[in-house]
Amino acid sequence: MAQAIASTNVPRWLPADQLDRLIDVLRADGRTIIGPTVRDGAIVLAEIQGAADLPAGRGDEASPGRYRVTQREDSRRFDHAVGPMSPKRWTFPPRAPIRLGRRTSAGVRFSGVDPRPTPRPTPLAFIGVRACELAAIKIQDHVFLDGPAVDGDYRARRASAFLVAVECATPTSTCFCTSMGTGPEVTTGFDVVLTELDDGFIVRVGSPAGVTVVDALSLSPADGSAMKAAEAVVAGARDAMGSPMNMENVHEGLQASPEHPGWAAVAERCLSCTNCTLVCPTCFCTSVVERSDLDGSISTSERTWDSCFNEGFAKVAGGSFRPLVKDRYRQWLTHKFSTWWDQFGSSGCVGCGRCIAWCPAGIDVREELAVIGGVGPVPMPQLSVVAAATEAPVTISPGSVPAAFVTVHVDGSSRETADTMTLHLNTTDRRLLAGRPGQFVMATLPAFSAAPISISRFRSDGLDLTIRAAGPATRALTELERGSTLGVRGPLGRGWPVEEMTGRDVVIVAGGVGLAPLRPLIDACLAERDALGAVRIYLGARTPTDRLFVEEVGRLALRMDIEVEETVDRAGPVWLGRVGIVTQLFDHATWDGRNAVAFVCGPERMMQATSEVLFSRGIDVDRTWVTLERNMSCGVGLCGHCQLGKFFVCKDGPVFSLAELGPAFTTDGL
């Protein structure tokens, strides 16, 4: 097959007035053609009918916060850079239905959106795709197709897309692909590539599908002078962009500078309007919107473009993790240019410059990188994609994470406190039953948003979910009764490293509802009690009536082979137990933690205070494990909500060792 491409990969020549022949071949395949066209004062991407719709004789000029379409004397069609849209608009649309939830007499059911009028999306052909856009498509392919969770909608749209790329001749002053190593030459990821000259196009193929299309055109080979002219076009584009920036230190520089004054400075200008993220061809953050009928009996869940610049993006019941615009600007720039490397093995930026042109306040990321990120003045050779791994890469089988919601039955429920219930669920789903302590599920009802809920016990016939009613969605879950059904997706996330306990002392510290994800770990401790050293459990709660699993804890405390101590923050005169913060249970203890491993869950501030005391007891950061809470929308690492520095809390966590978290655990507003 490769040989077939090589032999037909002789550059061909397509006269300028025959461009429609190429378009017609693609149309005959049943494809809709998406290409550049002038509309409303910009060169946008839209459905086009033929070459006449292309912006002949039109160009563009762009600078921070300013974009204008220009008029030329010639009739070349592709002498412009990029407008506000990218192919992402079609491969990853602003709104895409992903799920249907229904209430029926038999219970709730969740399925892929059906019935679809056509089983697959309309096949598309993109004309005029730039090198930077091809790089962006490759980046999104990696995000959506190579991880443990695969985005089925993206996969279907991407598989049916035909890419006709075009070499850039006229970059604008906002283009910086040379600094990001993504252009201006088109080298890979295309089906057909055109290089435009005054009287026609040089045509080259890049895939078997491209071969088929170009063969159908029966073109003559391009001659030597045309090839020379083509080389000059690309060289000219490269020169026009000037010296590339040295991006070598940006990965380290950004992550090392969370307190840089530059963040506050740019936040004064930043409008947090989300324009930069929504024009960016690689940004992938989304939220799910429920479109339901008036009584919520049938609801379509729509995956919708969102942005880390929105305050609600990182918000949980207790408040926002990134309350200031400064925090959010830092998140975006650091993710795009630094932590993306840790997550996906490449930069997230392709140097297309859209975020610079389309920022109404005219913020230029290149300037911000120079101030904060340590971008140097010395030109760099073209960067190659390098995985900046800090530890051995984990083998991930794509699509190994459960993708669909299954219906489970509520066998009963127990009230733990005024606002917390434990639901006892029955299921035969093998994946749920094979979950591990510390994992969670996304739980949902039709017309409600899904919520991440800790699994608080595994049983042979089902599992327990302990839910605090923090808002309408979780409250609806706590109101479910025996016989009800709900949708559950999981088990998700990385659980407690149970194997670390063997042969060691175990310390478990739980605050408030933090005991819920620790209960399965306690179950595991008791199951292999003989293989462990001393087991010490320390519990804190707000008041005596806010304690979870009261009877069970009471029985645990009676056991001779484990130590259980409890305290509450305040109490009335009836309580005879301890009152004080949970660290007071062990800050004067005499046990030595050098052979101990600790598992902690509670409010983050409590976990920080606890880890300090544990450290002074001899339990080092590589033997202290915590579980984190963040705003989660998809729970599988595709929507971007739960990021903490380079980590996706839902996918890389929610359990982490303090050693791997490092400063991410204590930096404000990360």
Residues 93-112 that bind another protein (CB under 8 A): 94-95
CB 515 within 8 A of CB 601: yes
CB 82 within 8 A of CB 133: yes
Residue 66 binding another protein, by CB under 8 A: yes
Closest distance of CB 434 from another protein, Å: 32
Nearer to another protein, 203 or 279 (CB): 279
Nearer to another protein, 42 or 250 (CB): 42
Residue 627 binding another protein, by CB under 8 A: no
Closest distance of CB 478 from another protein, Å: 11
Closest distance of CB 272 from another protein, Å: 5
Residue listed under structure tokens 């709900």? 486
Residue 471 binding another protein, by CB under 8 A: yes
28 vs 12, 31, 127, 214, CA distance in Å?
21, 7, 15, 13
CB 6 within 8 A of CB 204: no
Nearer to another protein, 246 or 320 (CB): 320
Instruction: Tell me the CA end-to-end span of the chain in Å, nearest whole number.
Output: 49
Considering only residues 442 through 461, tell me which ones interact with another protein, judged by CB under 8 A: 447-449
Residue 415 binding another protein, by CB under 8 A: no
Nearer to another protein, 261 or 472 (CB): 472
Given 296, 376, 399, 497, the residue binding another protein (CB under 8 A)? 296
Would you tell me the crossing angle of helices 131-145 and 152-159 to the nearest 10 degrees? 140
Vertex 365 angle, CA 364 and 367, to 5°: 70
Q: Which is nearest to 572 in space by CA: 599, 610, 542?
A: 542
Residue listed under structure tokens 């020549």? 13
Say how far apart CA 426 and CA 107 lie, in whole Å: 14
Say how far apart CA 505 and CA 515 lie, in whole Å: 19
Q: Please count the other Cβ atoms lying within 10 Å of the Cβ belonging to residue 428.
A: 10
Q: Which is nearest to 596 in space by CA: 548, 515, 534, 644?
A: 534
Question: Looking at 209-217, 248-256, 432-440, 441-449, which segment touches another protein (CB under 8 A)?
Answer: 441-449
- Which uninterrupted H or E stretch holds 175? none
Say how far apart CA 670 and CA 653 lie, in whole Å: 16
What x-and-dash track marks residues 219-258 binding another protein by CB under 8 A? ----------------------------------------
Q: How many CA atoms lie within 13 A of 22 on its CB side?
A: 33
Considering only residues 28 through 57, tell me which ones interact with another protein, judged by CB under 8 A: 39-42, 44
Say how far apart CA 588 and CA 237 lie, in whole Å: 69
Given 50, 68, 555, 659, the residue binding another protein (CB under 8 A)? 68
What x-and-dash track marks residues 495-524 binding another protein by CB under 8 A? ----------------xx------------
Residue 530 binding another protein, by CB under 8 A: no
Nearer to another protein, 198 or 481 (CB): 481
Residue 561 binding another protein, by CB under 8 A: no
CB 656 within 8 A of CB 544: no
Residue 85 binding another protein, by CB under 8 A: yes
Given 145, 216, 273, 498, the residue binding another protein (CB under 8 A)? 273
Residue 660 binding another protein, by CB under 8 A: no
Given 498, 584, 591, 662, the residue binding another protein (CB under 8 A)? 584
Nearer to another protein, 328 or 519 (CB): 328
Nearer to another protein, 357 or 642 (CB): 357
Nearer to another protein, 533 or 544 (CB): 544
Considering only residues 152 through 211, tell me which ones interact with another protein, judged by CB under 8 A: none
Given 289, 385, 534, 557, the residue binding another protein (CB under 8 A)? 289
Given 30, 379, 412, 472, the residue binding another protein (CB under 8 A)? 472
Residue 61 binding another protein, by CB under 8 A: no
Say how far apart CA 123 and CA 30 lie, in whole Å: 7
Total site size for another protein, rule CB under 8 A: 87
Closest distance of CB 570 from another protein, Å: 6
In sequence order, what are the beta bridge partners of 409?
A: 426, 485
Given 79, 290, 342, 566, the residue binding another protein (CB under 8 A)? 290
Given 10, 28, 52, 361, the residue binding another protein (CB under 8 A)? 361
Considering only residues 308 through 327, tell me which ones interact with another protein, judged by CB under 8 A: 310-312, 317-319, 325
Nearer to another protein, 346 or 444 (CB): 444
Vertex 482 angle, CA 478 and 486, to 5°: 60
Given 579, 592, 618, 622, the residue binding another protein (CB under 8 A)? 579
Q: Which is nearest to 96 in space by CA: 238, 269, 303?
A: 303
Closest distance of CB 329 from another protein, Å: 11
Coil vs helix vs strand at 587: coil
408 vs 101, 433, 444, 461, 564, CA distance in Å?
14, 12, 11, 11, 34
Nearer to another protein, 275 or 427 (CB): 275
Would you tell me the crossing angle of helices 325-334 and 261-269 to the nearest 10 degrees? 110
Say how far apart CA 190 and CA 209 lie, in whole Å: 10
Considering only residues 602 through 621, tell me which ones interact with another protein, judged by CB under 8 A: 602-603, 605-606, 609
Q: Which is nearest to 620 in space by CA: 659, 670, 667?
A: 659
Q: Please count the other Cβ atoms lying within 10 Å of the Cβ belonging to residue 71.
A: 7
Given 24, 500, 587, 620, the residue binding another protein (CB under 8 A)? 587
CB 431 within 8 A of CB 419: no
Given 57, 84, 345, 376, the residue binding another protein (CB under 8 A)? 84
Question: Looking at 338-346, 531-539, 574-582, 642-650, which segment touches another protein (CB under 8 A)?
Answer: 574-582
Considering only residues 2 through 21, tell me which ones interact with another protein, judged by CB under 8 A: none
Say how far apart CA 540 and CA 548 lie, in whole Å: 10
Closest distance of CB 109 from another protein, Å: 17
Vertex 68 angle, CA 62 and 71, to 5°: 115
Residue 481 binding another protein, by CB under 8 A: no
